[in-house]
């Protein structure tokens, strides 16, 4: 098959899309079709709040360019001349701020696109590919120097989560080979921890999204869950806390000892 097709879906409040036979040519997505009047929606690929004004919206949305052909044979011949690398496993396409820490990386970037995968596929532990659109905010917050290595740790965790699937990183400075995605999934808007739903609950509760997300990581790193009745709560001594907030946390901790 060479011709592109598309399926849009609304998962809770998140617009998602599944493309079949989508092409990435000279750093742009293309939808090849013989059908007239194809209308494609612009889908947001960012699961966290937008850094409005610093990065143009076109860098964290996907809306392929539609290229029409008179007939299927012309489409096929044109495609074969592109010499595309073909990725046959499902590919998850999303955006991620390079300066974001592990928490934002996992729950504002990775979790929303994993929900998109669960929305279209049933396999919890099947390998898939990732295509990460790395964003650098020229006027935004930057990782403190002593934490800079964590930027790459986050990307490595994304890669591990693929279960040996292909891992592609793209930024504005990169130039990639021509690619054919047999299946490409996208749609992350409002799916992250920074945009919980109206009931202050993470999206995906009804399909046990967080549990499946956790279990896939446990399997990724071969971690056996500890079974116990006692609940342990860890509070990170973050630099963001004021002295007053720290004192409040200490008061909460003391009665539990």
> Could you list the residue range(s) of the whole structural domain that residue 105 is in?
5-220
Torsion 124-113-111-95 (CA) sign: positive
Per-residue pLDDT at 72: 98
Are the beta carbons of 157 and 105 closer than 8 angstroms? yes
Q: Give the side-chain half-sphere CA count within 13 A for 136.
A: 7
- Assigned domain for 210 exists: yes
Residue 14 has a pLDDT of 94
Give CA–CA dist 35/160, Å, rounded. Answer: 39
- In a domain? residue 115: yes
In sign, the C-alpha dihedral spanning 158, 223, 164, 16 is negative
Question: Tokens representing 1?
Answer: 């098959």
- Strands 65-68, 61-62: pairing is unpaired
Asked if the structure places residue 44 within a domain, the reply is yes
Residues in the chain with pLDDT values less than 70:
51-53, 141, 171-175, 254-257
The number of domains in the chain is: 1
From residue 181, alpha-carbon distances to 59, 85, 239 in Å are 19, 9, 43
233 inside domain: no
Q: What is the pLDDT of residue 52?
A: 63
Apex 51 CA angle, 138 and 142, nearest 5: 45
Look at residue 119 and tell me if it is in a domain.
yes
Q: What is the pLDDT of residue 240?
A: 79
Tokens of 43: 């889908």
Compute φ and ψ for 67, nearest 5 degrees.
-115, 120
pLDDT of residue 119: 96
Tokens linked to 199: 């009931």
Evaluate whether residue 229 is within a structural domain: no
- Give the containing element (helix H, strand E) for 98: none
**Cα–Cα dist 60/12, whole Å:** 20
Residue 246 inside a domain? The answer is no
- Within a domain: residue 242? no
* Residue environment code for 217-242, b if the CB has 16+ CB neighbours within 10 A, otherwise e: eeeeeeeeeeeeeeeeeeeeeeeeee
């Amino acid at each position: 098959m060479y011709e592109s097709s598309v399926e849009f879906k609304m998962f809770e409040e998140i617009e998602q899309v599944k493309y079949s036979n989508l092409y990435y040519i000279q750093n742009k997505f293309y939808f090849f079709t013989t059908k007239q009047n194809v209308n494609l929606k612009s889908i947001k690929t960012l699961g966290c709040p937008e850094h409005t004004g610093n990065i143009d919206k076109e860098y964290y949305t996907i809306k392929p360019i539609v290229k029409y052909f008179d007939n299927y044979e012309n489409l096929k011949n044109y495609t074969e001349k592109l010499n595309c690398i073909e990725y046959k496993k499902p590919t998850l396409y999303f955006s991620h701020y390079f300066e974001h820490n592990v928490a934002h990386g996992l729950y504002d970037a990775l979790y929303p696109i994993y929900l998109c995968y669960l929305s279209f596929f049933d396999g919890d532990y099947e390998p898939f590919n990732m295509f990460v659109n790395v964003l650098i905010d020229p006027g935004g917050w930057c990782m403190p120097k002593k934490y800079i290595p964590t930027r790459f740790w986050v990307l490595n965790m994304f890669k591990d989560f693929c279960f040996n699937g292909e891992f592609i990183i793209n930024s504005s400075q990169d130039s990639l080979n021509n690619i054919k995605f047999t299946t490409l999934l996208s749609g992350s808007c409002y799916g992250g921890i920074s945009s919980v739903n109206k009931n202050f609950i993470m999206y995906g509760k009804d399909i046990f999204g967080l549990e499946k997300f956790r279990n896939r990581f446990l399997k990724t790193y071969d971690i056996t869950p500890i079974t116990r009745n006692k609940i342990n709560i860890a509070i990170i001594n973050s630099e963001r806390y004021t002295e007053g907030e720290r004192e409040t946390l200490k008061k909460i901790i003391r009665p539990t000892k």
